[in-house]
Amino acid sequence: MRNTTSDARVTNQRKRDKQSRKLRQQELQRENELARQTARRKRFGLRIGGGVLAAVAMAIALFLALRGNATGVSENAVAASLGAPTSDIPSPPIGAFNHVGTLLHQGGKPKLLFIGAQYCPHCAGQRWAIVKALDQFGTFSNVTSSANDDGTIPTFNLHDASYTSKYVAFIHKDTEDRSHQPLDSLSSDQQAIFSQLDPSAGIPLITVGGYTLLGDGYDLSLIQGKAFNVVQHAMQRGTRSDPLVSAINGEANSITAFICHADKMQPQMVCSRPVIRSIVSHLQ
Amino acid sequence: MAALRLVYRNPWNVLLALGAFVAMAVFYLWSSEVLVIGGHGVSILVHTQYIAAALVMALSFGLLLPLLVCAIRLAAASVAHSGGTALGAVFGTLSMTCCAPVVLPAILSFLGFSGTSILSVNETLNRFWLPLATISIILLTYALVSVVQSLNLQCSLEESSPDVESADRTGGKSAVRELASHR
- Can you name the residues that pair with A115 across neighbouring β-strands? A173, A205
Which is more confident, A73 or B103? B103
CA–CA dist A95, A18 (Å, integer): 87
B61: containing domain:
2-182
What are the residues whose beta carbons fall under 8 Å from the beta carbon of A186, sequence distance 6 or more? Answer: A115, A173, A175, A194, B116
Chain B contacts of A39, Cβ < 8 Å? 149, 152-153
Helix, strand or coil, per DSSP, at residue A77: strand
Cis amide linkage into residue A92, ω under 30° from 0: yes
Q: How far is B87 from chain A (nearest CA, A)?
A: 15
pTM above 0.90, yes or no: no
Q: HEC states along B25-79?
A: HHHHHHHCCCEEEECCEEEECCCHHHHHHHHHHHHHHHHHHHHHHHHHHCCCCCH
Cis amide linkage into residue B105, ω under 30° from 0: no
> Residue A154 — φ and ψ, nearest 5°?
-70, 145
Q: What letter does residue B162 receive in the DSSP assignment? A: S
**Residue of B142, B93, B29, B82 whose CA lies nearest to A58:** B142
A119 to chain B, any CB pair closer than 8 A? The answer is yes
CA–CA dist A82, A136 (Å, integer): 10
Cβ atoms of B64 and B81 closer than 8 Å: no
CA–CA dist A145, A153 (Å, integer): 11
The chain-wide mean pLDDT, for chain A, equals 86
The answer to whether the Cβ–Cβ distance between B131 and A62 falls below 8 Å is: yes
Which is more confident, A199 or B52? B52
Q: Which residues in chain A show pLDDT less than 70?
A: 1-4, 43, 46-47, 63-76, 147-151
Which is more confident, B4 or B11? B11
Cis amide linkage into residue A85, ω under 30° from 0: no
At B14, the amino acid letter reads V
Residue A216: which of B36, B130, B161 has the nearest Cβ? Answer: B36
A43 to chain B, any CB pair closer than 8 A? The answer is yes
- Residue B55 sits at the vertex; the CA angle it makes with B49 and B59, to the nearest 5 degrees, is 150
Instruction: Please report the pLDDT score of residue A284 as a whole number.
Output: 79
Quick check: B165 pLDDT over 50?
A: no
CA–CA dist A221, A238 (Å, integer): 19
CA–CA dist A44, A78 (Å, integer): 61
Please, which pLDDT band fits residue B167 given cuts at 50, 70 and 90?
very low
So what's the ipTM on this one? 0.76
Residue A32: which of B118, B146, B157 has the nearest Cβ? Answer: B157
Quick check: B172 pLDDT over 50?
A: no
**Residue of B27, B91, B125, B43 whose CA lies nearest to A119:** B125
CA–CA dist B64, B51 (Å, integer): 20
CA–CA dist B115, A197 (Å, integer): 9
Instruction: Please report the pLDDT score of residue A109 as a whole number.
Output: 93
Which is more confident, B179 or A29? A29
**Residue of A219, A203, A209, A204 whose CA lies nearest to A256:** A209
B130-142: pLDDT as tens digits? 999 999 999 999 9
Instruction: Please report the pLDDT score of residue B157 as a whole number.
Output: 64
Q: What letter does residue B183 receive in the DSSP assignment? A: -
Round the CA-based radius of gyration of chain B to a whole number and report it: 20
Chain B contacts of A196, Cβ < 8 Å? 115
A46 to chain B, any CB pair closer than 8 A? The answer is yes
The answer to whether the Cβ–Cβ distance between B38 and A186 falls below 8 Å is: no
Say how many domains are in chain B. Answer: 1
A42-84: pLDDT as tens digits? 767 766 777 777 777 777 777 666 665 444 445 667 777 888 8
